[in-house]
Amino acid sequence: MALLCCLAILCLALVQSHSAVIMSLRNHHKTHHHSSGPMIHTNQTTCAMFAGTWVQDDTYPMYQSSECPLIIDPEFNCQMYGRPDSEYLKYRWRPLNCELPRFNGIEFLLKMKGKTVMFVGDSLGRNQWESLVCLIYSAAPQTQTQMVKGDPLSTFKFLDYGVTVQYYRAPYLVDIDMMEGKRVLRLQDISENSNAWRSADVLSFNTGHWWSHTGALQGWDYMESGGKYYKDMDRLAALEKGMRTWANWVDTNIDPSRTRVFFLSISPTHYNPNEWNEGASPTTTKNCYGETSPMTVSGIAYTGTTYPDQMRVMDSVIREMRNPAFLLDITMLSELRKDGHPSIYSGDLSPGQRANPDRSADCSHWCLPGLPDTWNQLFYTTLLF
């Protein structure tokens, strides 16, 4: 009990630091009130959805990977590729001052009938897209469907309901062009990518991880801004330029009375065990491999350096939008889930790579079923209630 009280105090401090998120949710409830009364039971005027605790719940997960075998990429299908433990699947997010409604796939289809939901961003957006499709499909396995996986656009249609759920790959959101054999990241141009987004009824964006990549992982050869080309620049400055290009596009092209816009906050990684275990040493662990339970209170403060700085940029840009996107602030609740990554249980790894988790463990993406299902439960709650 003392542990939970301590966590509550710490999380309340987090709520105060995310006033933009809470204000956005308050405005959402004022303008999109559920006709039969809200299903989110709160003891305050606002549900602080993103501050709370992880609690064990044996009614989870909300689906099994075998229930949607065609949609989950091998990269995320941890149970199929040998993960021996399953307790990580049995945690439910409980906000401090409310209970979230359980995801209901049939209700989602009925309320979104005839509409298109599109996720735009990097592979974390794909992680969330696949989760949402599985959550819906497992609730309506007899419905007629159609799936086309492509690059940059992948589409899953629930034909009986006219509901389309799409993923558009755009790791930086802004455009990348080829020029004389070189990849040019256009920090102030989003026209090519955005052509694919205009007709969606719900848009959920994310970016972040690719902006800090260097060396072989870097996705561009030059950056272009204001007609000038750069081999490199301050990465936070580049992110801010790209984010402002995106925000200007949303403010100029999106009618908020017709289209809902979300932004997924930074999904944390767990490559440094010192962030959750002060006694960690190179001889015991080097990443998330072998982690089977969430962090306790001592791990609540995210101590990484890159992503909090990126979140400050994103929060600043979103606050200044004429019609701000709803910030789905999953960073802190995800930070607690060091146990939720594929680690070595990924179909993308060879047997040799699996034998060397210090070098090969994936501590960036998330297992499915798993944490992105909670992201979508929060997305569902905000979108429909």
Catalytic, out of 131, 343, 365, 373: 365
SS3 222: strand
Catalytic, out of 329, 362, 364, 373: 362
Active-site residue, 209 included:
no
Catalytic, out of 24, 65, 122, 123: 123
Q: Cα-Cα-Cα-Cα dihedral of 68, 73, 76, 78, to 10°?
A: 60
For 39, 49, 197, the CA distances from 93, given in Å and listed in that order, are 16, 9, 31
In this structure, the strands spanning 116-121 and 163-169 are parallel
Active-site residue, 362 included:
yes
Active-site residue, 58 included:
no
Closest CA to 249 of 304, 325, 301, 305: 325
Closest CA to 159 of 111, 107, 109: 109
- 88 secondary structure, DSSP code: G
Q: Please, which residues have CB within 8 angstroms of residue 314's CB and are 6 or more apart in sequence?
A: 208, 239, 243, 263, 265, 266, 327
What is the token pair recorded at 135?
Answer: 């959550």
The residues annotated as belonging to the active site are 123, 362, 365
